[in-house]
Each structure stands twice: as C-alpha cells, then as structure tokens.
Homo-oligomer: A and B are copies of this chain.
Amino acid sequence: MAASIDSELLRGSLDLMVLAVLADGPKYGYLIQQQLRDTSGSRVDLQAGTLYPLLHRLEADKYVRTRWETETGRRRKWYELTAAGKRRLQDQTRAWQEYVECLRAFVGSSAPAPRTA
C-alpha cells in the first residue's frame, strides 16, 4: 500500500487536482473523490469534510457551475468547469510546474524524470 501524501504538501494542490479531474467532463462529489483515490493509487483519499467545502469554494469563485440531479433515487450535485475554471486550471498548472522547478533547485536534480508514457 502506497503511503498517503502529507496534508501540508497537499495544501495548495488540491484545488488543482479537482479542477484537473473535472477537465474531462462533469462529475459529482462522490465520483470526484473516487477518481482522486484511484488515479493517485490511494495516496489521495479525501474525506467528505475536505472535499465538499473545497467544491463549495470553487463554486463560490465561479470556477465551477452546479446542477442538482433529483430525478433518480440518488440525490447528486454535479460539478462542471466554467470558462474561468478552465483558465484557472491552466494558471494553477503553470504555477505548480514553476513551483516544482524551483524546489528542485534545493532538493537536487536526482529526482526521477516525468513519465513520458
């Protein structure tokens, strides 16, 4: 079992991860949570108390729009990226990559290269 990522490292990256997950189509909260866990190999497993306030922030900032699904038995809230959300994703991605480059100057360049697969 892979160790989970430290919470403090996750701070400032979680928004980016959620925006990235939403980039390939609308999803509801529980689904986002699962995809984060699956794609990260269980290294990122958000509790509901982390995920939902985060989604509410993204909504308040107009990075996502929402729609309640009430037709089926399940009560679900779907989240979809807005145009601003897509720009935000690009900006955050760029900022994150710059951060990684910057940190490498300190921890050395012995880090594994990004997978090209």
> Do A20 and B117 form a contact, CB below 8 Å, given A6-B95, A111-B97, A112-B101?
no
Of all chain B residues, which has the CB nearest A9?
Answer: B12
> Do A6 and B106 form a contact, CB below 8 Å, given A12-B11, A111-B114?
no
Interface size class of A (residues with CB under 8 A): 35 or more
Q: Is A83 an interface residue (CB 8 A)?
A: no
Contact mask for chain A residues 1-34; partner B; CB cutoff 8 A; 1 contact, 0 none: 0110111111111001100110000000000000
| Copies of this chain, tallied across the complex | 2
What are 16 A-B contacts defined by CB distance under 8 Å? A5-B95, A5-B98, A6-B95, A6-B99, A7-B12, A9-B11, A9-B96, A10-B12, A10-B99, A11-B12, A21-B106, A40-B102, A41-B102, A43-B98, A97-B111, A109-B115
Report the Cα distance A16→B95, complex, angstroms.
19
Q: Is A104 an interface residue (CB 8 A)?
A: yes
Report the Cα distance A108→B100, complex, angstroms.
14
Q: Is A70 an interface residue (CB 8 A)?
A: no
Contact mask for chain A residues 45-62; partner B; CB cutoff 8 A; 1 contact, 0 none: 000000000000000000
Chain A stretch 49-107: residues in CB contact (< 8 A) with chain B: 93, 95-107
